[in-house]
Structure 1
Amino acid sequence: MKKRIAKFSVLPVLGASIFIYGFSTKKANDFSDAVLNEFLAVNEELVYDVPAAPEVPVMDHSLRAYPELGKSYVAFKEALGFKESGGDYKVINDFGYMGKYQFGRGTLKLIGIRDTNLFLNSPELQEAAFYANAARNKWILRRDIERFTNKVVNGINITESGILAAAHLAGPGNVKKFLRSNGTNSFNDGFGTSIKHYFKKFEGYDTSFVVPDRSAKVSNPSVL
């Protein structure tokens, strides 16, 4: 509906700031009569459409939307981190393994991290450590990945992501022993978690993002 602005009174608009040509920015309910009269004198013939107020939908805050990660590398590492620690960056278990991905001190030293306090207080450092360790394990196990991927070993479908997850749990040496013994040489960690369980639970993720690196380390961990 079109109306001349001269016929309108100025109403507060939810406290929002508005701009009127060369005049100063003010809240709608702060405009003086002098400012309003000056504006009306300059814009006497101004005509415009007055839109109806939009209907605001009621949000159900009990509903939460999460990104669909599928079988991506991010999905892989998040699933593994949840399994290891519930995704807690600061947790230390009964055996001294630390952080979201439950790293031991020896593994951290191999990838260039010696300050465990810094490690526990830096999510960025822990994520970098996970990638570096996966890249190192992928290089060590590159021949086994090529040889056993998409084969069945002792009833378990072997995939690259399953191999990398099992290596995270048990170390690459124990993964080699398991695969090359046709699954008879197994491994359980201190809590009784089996390497077989990790092969199964983490199979089929896309871990092509991880580039094999013999000497993978976290560079400049003190600044992450």
Structure 2
Amino acid sequence: MPDTGLMQPQAEQTTQRNEILDAFRNALAPLGGSQTLEDRLQALTQAQRDMLLSTARMVQMAMAFKVAAGDYSMGYADLVAQMYGRMDIAKQQLIAELLDETAPLGFEPSPKPPRTDTAISIYDRPEMQVAPKEPQQTKAGFLERLTQSESSGDNNAEINIADGRRYVGALQFGDARLQDYQAATDTSFTQDEFKANSALQDKVAAWHIADIDKTIDGLGINTDGYDRDGLRAVAHLGGKGGMKKFVQSAGKYNPSDELGTSLQDYYDKFAIQS
């Protein structure tokens, strides 16, 4: 005898609702819909897990320093975003969720009140602005925008990637680029010394952009049609050689860094829209 009782249509309707809700969960949730944290971690490769663990440890250590200093202004999610602003948002959220699960904080974050002082940012001071070949192409405050993207303005930011390379400071400089600066200026310091010296970070930042500008100018007419700030951002992410290849290939040379950000991504982010 067919099941035509009153309960059958209701069961079908409930199932239908659940399927629709699950579809929306999967479509809207950036970390894999209804998957558990364990499921998402299981889906990672070993290299991805190692990277995740290394990054999570750095965030946990930074949080410990903040708490020891009496700073309870942010939770893991905000701290991850501050330290690793270029990282894909889904990866940021996965790291924050992992830390919330394994090392929960014993306090509710209390954001600091906004600053009301009118001091000029170091990156907006006249002496920090590098004169471009064509001034109308360069937006004032490029360094500040770049700093916010790289570290949210945190001079103490640091990231270690899977191959062992380390990037530190407000602009996330690797050792190779710091060695370029030292060779050009006949100076000597370690990455740790650089990270601890905000004045030195400012000097290297100004030199870094001026050095990139020389390379852009050296490309001549090849850069016609390109935005200078966009090319500066490409060179910061992929090196001066990478920026040259990006221009000379009309954007076909477009690798991504370890966090999934491509040269074109950074060009689009910083290019001034007319």
Q: Which amino acid aligns with 2:210?
A: A
Partner of 1:217: none
SS in 2 for 1:141: helix
Partner of 2:12: none
Q: Does the 8 A contact of 1:162 with 1:204 survive in 2?
A: yes
Q: Which amino acid aligns with 2:203?
A: A
Matched, 1:109 2:179: yes
Structure 1 Cα separation of the partners of residues 142 and 211 of structure 2:
17
SS in 2 for 1:93: strand
Among candidates 210, 218, 222, match of residue 143 of structure 1: 218
Structure 1 Cα separation of the partners of residues 220 and 271 of structure 2:
13
Q: CA deviation at 1:192?
A: 0.7
Among candidates 80, 88, 105, match of residue 146 of structure 2: 80
Q: Does the 8 A contact of 1:162 with 1:200 survive in 2?
A: yes
Matched, 1:165 2:233: yes
User: CA distance change for structure 1 residues 145 and 102 in 2, over 3 Å: closer, same or farther?
Assistant: farther
Runs of 4+ in 1 over 2 A off after TM superposition: 61-69, 143-147
- Deviation track 1:115-162 (CA, whole Å, cap 9, x = no partner) reads 22221111111111111111112212323364324x2xxxxxx21111
Partner of 2:265: 197
SS in 2 for 1:100: coil
TM-score (normalizing by structure 1):
0.54
Partner of 2:26: none
Partner of 2:156: 90
Partner of 2:98: none
Structure 2 Cα separation of the partners of residues 171 and 138 of structure 1:
12
Q: Which moved more, 1:79-88 or 1:195-204?
A: 195-204
Structure 1 Cα separation of the partners of residues 115 and 251 of structure 2:
44
SS in 2 for 1:135: helix
- Deviation track 1:29-70 (CA, whole Å, cap 9, x = no partner) reads xxxxxxxxxxxxxxxxxxxxxxxxxxxxxxxx879576797x
Partner of 1:124: 199
Q: What is the number of residues matched between the two proteins?
A: 136
User: CA distance change for structure 1 residues 145 and 104 in 2, over 3 Å: closer, same or farther?
Assistant: farther
User: CA distance change for structure 1 residues 116 and 180 in 2, over 3 Å: closer, same or farther?
Assistant: same
Partner of 2:55: none
Q: CA RMSD in A?
A: 2.6
Structure that is richer in helix per residue = 2
Structure 2 Cα separation of the partners of residues 87 and 79 of structure 1:
9
SS in 2 for 1:191: coil
Structure 2 Cα separation of the partners of residues 129 and 62 of structure 1:
28
Q: Does the 8 A contact of 2:254 with 2:263 survive in 1?
A: yes
Q: CA deviation at 1:204?
A: 2.8
SS in 2 for 1:190: coil
Matched, 1:186 2:186: no
Structure 1 Cα separation of the partners of residues 250 and 114 of structure 2:
49
SS in 1 for 2:256: coil
Q: Does the 8 A contact of 2:230 with 2:267 survive in 1?
A: yes
Gaps of 5+ in 1: 1-60, 152-157, 206-224
Q: Does the 8 A contact of 1:145 with 1:160 survive in 2?
A: no
SS in 2 for 1:165: helix
Determine which structure has greater relative contact order: mean sequence separation of CA pairs < 8 Å that are 6+ residues apart, divided by chain length. Answer: 1
User: CA distance change for structure 1 residues 62 and 123 in 2, over 3 Å: closer, same or farther?
Assistant: closer
Q: Which amino acid aligns with 1:81?
A: T
